[in-house]
Structure 1
Amino acid sequence: MSSISERYPVSCAFCKIAKAYPAESSPVPANPDPELIDPGCYLILSTPQVMAFLDIMPIAPGHILLTTRPHYEKLSDMYAPPKSSDWASEKTATQAKEVSQAIGEWLPIVSRALCSVTGIEDWNVVQNNGERAAQVVPHVHFHLIPRYQEGRREIGGKGKVDYGMLKSWKVFGRGSREDLDEEEAQVMASSLREALKAELGGGKAKL
């Protein structure tokens, strides 16, 4: 069986989040403190298998990262049949299969919450594997990037974001990312948590 250091490598930014914010009884955390780690984490979802939080350098307001809680570097690492019949190998394979299924279950739910809060009709789901594929944090994660349609009321209002760029189809263009504004992040994360609760029928469902 893997040790805690193998499951959550110290050098991994997302593993630090996983350790700082253990899974609770509800998948939607009540009021997580963003300052438990540095840089701050604006958590919106926390289960034994997956987590979701705001990207600290968003392409657009509401840019979410949906990630596995256990450490897997690439998508291909997440599940393979056990190589032996021993208990540890079977348990590891079972856990990876559960995490893979959870990612698939939560992607549409988090997407609906994102659309509800931001009012967007279109969004990207982007997943990178490896440095040459623009994966910055070597831990499996999916980007949910809002694409703001023409005529939508701009959120934020601090003048840091080029909203014309947000309406384009550009994915990871140079100069298109901004540091997350902490005040706006608090509001956005809170709104997303409420939207997730609504999606789950008041937070009673446990995936």
Structure 2
Amino acid sequence: MAHVDSDCIFCKIVAGEIPCAKVFESETCMAFLDIAPVNEGHALVLPKGHYPTLMDIPVEMGSDLLQALSVVGKAVMEATGADGLNLMQNNYEAAGQLVHHAHYHLIPRFSDDGLRLWEQTPYKDPDEMNRLAAKIVKLVK
């Protein structure tokens, strides 16, 4: 059985101690509607075990999570009539993670919803990008 954190709200939801609007459940994953949605139909998909961030989720769970994200994503789009779907996953508070149990946001999007993603800016110096890429490559294990 996967680790459970008794202080974690998502672990309590998985255990049935806190109610949710569940939309999917498998042996390893669960999905439910977010109580404060960006758009109606905004769902959270998470591993049932307690893993604080994406980097803590065992690689072996990848297939189960991808299956859940695909199935729930398709259902959310169809149920809401969405024109698109954002998949978001935040790690650590600096990135906007509020609950320290790894989870993915499936956010239905509509052509006229007015939501904007963050702005992007190109590297000022292509050598800077290449230096950073080389540094990352050395750290990839």
TM-score (norm 2): 0.76
Aligned mates of 2:99, 2:93 — CA distance in 1: 9
Amino acid at match of 2:30: M
What is the aligned length? 118
- 2:23–2:72 CA contact under 8 A, matched in 1: no
In the TM superposition, residue 169 of structure 1 has moved relative to its aligned partner by: 3.0
What secondary structure does 2:115 align onto? Answer: coil
Please give the secondary structure, in 1, of the residue aligned with 2:20: coil
- Distance in 2, matches of 1:171 and 1:9, equals 32
In the aligned structure 2, how far is the partner of 1:120 from the partner of 1:8? Answer: 34
Cα RMSD over matched residues?
Answer: 1.9
Counterpart of 1:119 in structure 2 is 81
Structure 1 equivalent of residue 116 of structure 2: 170
Where 1:139 maps in the other structure, the secondary structure is: coil
1:140 is aligned, of 98, 102, 109, to 102
Cα deviation for residue 74 of structure 1 reads 0.7
Equivalent residue number for residue 10 of structure 1: 6
Larger strand proportion of the pair: 2
For 1:48, the equivalent position in structure 2 comes to: 27
Partner of residue 181, structure 1: none
The answer for unaligned runs of 5 or more in structure 2 is 119-141
C-alpha distance after superposition, 1:102-158 (max 9, x if no partner): 0112211111101110111212110000111100000110001111234xxxxxxxx
Matched position secondary structure for 2:40: coil
Q: Distance in 2 between matches of 1:126 and 1:71?
A: 18
Percent of aligned pairs sharing the same letter: 35
SS in 2 for 1:124: strand
Following TM superposition, by how much is the alpha carbon of 1:170 offset from its aligned partner in structure 2, in angstroms?
2.8
> Secondary structure of 1:111's partner?
helix
Given residue 143 of structure 1, which amino acid in structure 2 is its aligned partner?
H
- 2:68 paired residue among 100, 106, 115: 106
| 1:65 partner amino acid | L
| Structure 1 residues 8 and 134: alpha-carbon distance in aligned structure 2, compared to 1, 3 A threshold | same
Shift of 1:171: 5.3
Name the CA distance, whole Å, in 1 between partners of 2:116 and 2:7: 30
